Amino acid sequence: MDLSPREVPDAPRAQRRWLPIAFAVFAGVAGLAIIGVFLTSSIDYFCNVDEVGVREGCNDDERVRVQGSVDEGSLQLQAGTTSFVMSFNGASLPVVYDGEPGGVFQECIPVVAHGRVVNGTLMATRIEVKHSNEYEAENADRIEESESAACS
């Protein structure tokens, strides 16, 4: 019996090294494509006011998150209930919220309201402020400018 050590042929080094890398890159690109292209509507945090009942995932008979700006002059606080009208792209939606919204909630500011649409009114269970990415010094003139821009 021949017991002398045998030489085991090496696998091609380049193939061994690049195969996992190629697989990882493919998996990464495929993953990003799935997330970025196919899951977009599922990952979106909110529907805009003009999409309620129109866009997929924004059905008015389900719980929705709706984004729009608080109309100037529409905000009312009565007996612990907040009501206002939010608008986006020409469409408006009345909102009723049992409580006082937190954050920097005010008129002429974008908000996201969570809730269900009942008889054309969004009965909100949560209100969040979606502030812009602009930062300006506190200045009375600028506040008026920004308010007029937001509500025009």
List contacts with another protein (CB under 8 A).
20, 24, 28, 32, 35-36, 40, 43-46, 67, 101-105, 109, 112, 126-139, 142-143, 146
- Nearer of residues 11 and 45 to another protein, judged by Cβ: 45
Amino acid at 66: V
Measured from the CB of residue 50, what is the shortest distance to another protein in angstroms?
Answer: 13
Measured from the CB of residue 2, what is the shortest distance to another protein in angstroms?
Answer: 34
- Nearer of residues 112 and 117 to another protein, judged by Cβ: 112
Measured from the CB of residue 61, what is the shortest distance to another protein in angstroms?
Answer: 21
- Nearer of residues 51 and 85 to another protein, judged by Cβ: 51
- Cβ atoms 86, 124 nearer than 8 A: no
Measured from the CB of residue 4, what is the shortest distance to another protein in angstroms?
Answer: 29
Phi, psi of 7 (to 5 degrees): -85, 125
- Nearer of residues 24 and 77 to another protein, judged by Cβ: 24
Phi, psi of 6 (to 5 degrees): -100, 150
* DSSP, residue by residue, 44-94: ---EEGGGTTTSTT--TTS-EEEEEEEPTT--EEETTEEEEEEEETTEEEE
Strands 64-70 and 47-48: parallel
